[in-house]
Amino acid sequence: MRYNGRMNTLIEEISRIVGDQNVFVDEPMSAHTTFRVGGPAECLVMPRTVEQVCDVVQLVRQSGRELHIMGKGSNLLVSDAGLSGVVVQLSGNFSAFEIVDGTRIVAQAGVSNAKVAAAACRAGLTGFEFAAGIPGTIGGAAIMNAGAYDGELKQVASGVTCLDGDGQLVELTPEQAAWGYRRSAIADRGLIVLQVDLQLAEGDPVAIQARMDELAERRQSKQPLDKPSAGSTFKRPEGHFAGKLIQDAGMQGYQVGGAQVSTKHAGFVVNVGGATAADVLQVIKDVRAEVLAQFGVPLEPEVRLWGFSPKELAW
């Protein structure tokens, strides 16, 4: 991929902020998403501090180039054509956290839910067990109010620090975050999550670990964790379960190229080998069309779709 002088200058300026070792040019997004598909990003950046995130975001916005913010890529499908502009990845370098005041955890947006849950368990803090098996970062969990097994982030989050469109830090209370089912005011306002505060309770580490083990076993027995995917493909439609609708529509096992509706759990689209993003998107579209035709229920993707044209995304 060739760049004009302005893009080269932008990459050089970003490198001065975060260091050359944290800037990747023409970086394959297949290496950064759990679907293991996706074309190259013009520039992928892995900042280490809040200041670096703010400076890079401001720089990209001022340049007029596209800006993409991601965590571990666990809820993301990137086009085979890749992404123009700059991808800021907050997992990896931006993943520090600490336990303060005995029962509160303060975590940078890029730390994984599993890592926070494990640390909480060791410290004898209960309330975050549900998130131990949720693939992704705590920042992503805050944006979509991630949940599982009767637990949701909103039950334990006491505050979120974000970056707004004007480059200002914004502290949100739970009421201001307005968490609902797989949504939040954070997403509605296009805010970038930098830090999440969790308020947990004292508990027995043995009991906490037992609960996490139980949930892990339930996931293992019901979900296709052995194949690349982005987790649940569709949001739960009101009054229904997406997986049940897909199964009843006869679409379980449906396959296009290397993308398949999981034979283990119809709510998942998996990469059974050699899938392209186009394969995955086609499966999503075909499943949605069939469920709509048979049951009149429009399934809404839970997976974020990046880099596709409006024509590709047309239902």
6 confidence band (pLDDT: 50, 70, 90): confident
Q: Are residues 186 and 106 in the same domain?
A: yes
pLDDT of residue 159: 96
Q: Are residues 60 and 12 in the same domain?
A: yes
pLDDT of residue 148: 87
- Whether 302 is catalytic is yes
CATH number at residue 121: 3.30.465.10
Q: Are residues 177 and 262 in the same domain?
A: no
Give tens-digit pLDDT for 58-116: 999 999 999 999 999 999 999 999 999 999 999 989 999 999 999 999 999 999 999 99
Query: Among the options 182, 229, 262, 288, which is catalytic?
Result: 182
Structural domain range at position 140: 97-211
Q: Is residue 39 part of a domain?
A: yes
CATH number at residue 279: 3.90.78.10
- Whether 182 is catalytic is yes
pTM check: above 0.85 = yes
Q: Is residue 149 part of a domain?
A: yes
* pLDDT of 4 strictly over 80: no
Give tens-digit pLDDT for 115-162: 999 999 999 999 999 999 998 999 999 999 988 888 999 999 999 999
Q: Is residue 54 part of a domain?
A: yes
* pLDDT of 2 strictly over 90: no
Q: For the chain, what is the domain count?
A: 3
Mean pLDDT on 258-277:
97
Q: Are residues 47 and 148 in the same domain?
A: no
Query: Among the options 79, 91, 112, 232, which is catalytic?
Result: 232
Q: Are residues 243 and 290 in the same domain?
A: yes
* pLDDT of 9 strictly over 50: yes
Read off the tokens for 228: 């690349």
**Alpha-helix residue ranges (DSSP H) falling in the chain:** 5-18, 50-63, 113-122, 138-144, 174-177, 185-188, 205-222, 242-248, 277-295, 310-313
Cα(46)–Cα(12) distance, integer angstroms: 14
